[in-house]
């Protein structure tokens, strides 16, 4: 191998062991990830593509959040309501990503 190729190989980040390995695993194996985002919502879906800034293209996304209904003065506190919606495809900007986890429930990979 030439010296030029050695330097190029050293500059290339190894995504299989680094902090982006969960995203790479999701792209390669079509597994689900759980993403906490800054608007206090969670996204459960499959990553199609990503970059080093954590910008992502996601498919089959379930967006999950909790709402607390407003109550009149003197009334009991309302119970929080869990809500969700399905989004078939979306682009997620990386600056809103807080945390990325493998699906804690371990959903099986889905065929393309």
Q: What is the model's pLDDT at position 42?
A: 96
Q: What is the model's pLDDT at position 112?
A: 61
**pLDDT tens profile 38-54:** 999 999 999 999 999 99
Q: How far is 34 from 105, CA to CA, in rounded Å?
A: 10
Mean pLDDT of 59-73: 90
Report residue 11's pLDDT band, with 50, 70 and 90 as the boundaries: very low
Q: Cα angle vertex 93, ends 92, 98, to 5°?
A: 90
Judge: domain 20-102, CATH 1.10.1510.10: no
Q: What is the model's pLDDT at position 18?
A: 80
Mean pLDDT of 61-68: 95
DSSP string, the chain: --HHHHHHHHHS--TTTSTTHHHHHHHHH--EEEEEETTS-EEEEEEEEE-TT--EEEEEEEEEEEE-----TTSPPPPPEEEEEEEEEEEE-GGGEEEEEE-TT-PPP---
Report residue 69's pLDDT band, with 50, 70 and 90 as the boundaries: confident
What is the pTM assigned to this prediction? Answer: 0.76
């Amino acid at each position: 191998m030439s010296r030029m190729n050695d330097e190029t190989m050293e500059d290339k980040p190894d995504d299989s062991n680094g902090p982006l390995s969960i995203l790479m695993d999701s792209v390669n194996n079509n597994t689900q990830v759980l993403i906490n985002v800054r608007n206090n919502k969670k996204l459960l879906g499959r990553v199609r593509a990503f970059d080093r800034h954590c910008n992502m293209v996601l498919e089959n996304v379930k967006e999950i959040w909790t709402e607390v209904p407003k109550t009149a003065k003197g009334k009991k506190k309302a119970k929080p309501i869990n809500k969700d919606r399905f989004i078939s495809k979306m682009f997620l900007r990386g600056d809103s990503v807080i945390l990325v986890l493998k699906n804690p429930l371990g959903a099986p990979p889905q065929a393309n």
